[in-house]
Amino acid sequence: MDDKKFAGLPFEQVVRKYSDTVGKVCLMRLRNWADAEDCFQNVFATLYKKSPCFESEEHLKAWLIRVSINECVSFLRRHKPLLPLKDAVNTAVFENHDSLDISWALFELDEKYRSVLYLYYYERYKIDEIAQILGKNSSTVKTLLRRGKEKLKKIYGSDVK
């Protein structure tokens, strides 16, 4: 096997460590397991083929998220969704609408809010970091976060902090 390292981690360890993050970013963007899996594989294939240098694990994670988003955008350009959101989402994954998991409610939001809320709540990025990852102004991210929270409250039915 190859001795490629990414931020000091062997490729297999990077995949294990960041597969959940990349998978969720792809699923949040595409709303479909099969399509998300395709993009997931392409993200890690890109990492392996390009072998970029990273300053830190944080840099690696941010790169993986950015490439995941780009891969999903490219995928959506190539394939227009054929089913409405409610039909496309694998509801079995989100059927437990408990107070700790808002994943199911995120699928009800427009993508622009879903991405910001996902990165903020699930990946614990700060507003400036989200802005950098998404290529947006920090004030735009704050506005999207505020509006997304308001929309999420209406869908979720309780306070989102």
pLDDT band at 155 (very low <50, low <70, confident <90, very high): confident
Element spanning 10, H or E: strand 9-10
Q: Report the SS3 class of residue 70.
A: helix
Answer whether 0.85 is exceeded by the pTM. no
Beta partners for residue 10, in sequence order: 5
Domain boundaries of the chain, sorted by first residue: 1-90, 91-156
Chain mean position to CA 136 = 16
Domain 1-90 fold: Rna Polymerase Sigma Factor; Chain: A (1.10.1740)
**With 80 as the cut, is the pLDDT of residue 129 above it?**
yes
For residue 123, name the pLDDT band (cuts at 50, 70, 90).
Answer: confident
Q: What is the dihedral of CA 104, 106, 111, 117, to 10 degrees?
A: -150
| 91-156: CATH number | 1.10.10.10
Cα distances from 49 to residues 2, 44, 72, 89, in angstroms, run: 12, 9, 18, 31
Q: Nearest Cα to 47, choosing from 87, 19, 89?
A: 19
pLDDT digits (tens, 9 = 90+) for 61-78: 999 999 999 999 999 888
pLDDT-based confidence at residue 84 (cuts at 50, 70, 90): very low
Residue-wise pLDDT for 6-24, tens only, equals 999 999 999 999 999 999 9
Beta bridge partners of residue 6, listed in sequence order: 9
Give how far the C-alpha of residue 139 lies from the chain's centroid of Cα atoms, to the nearest Å.
20
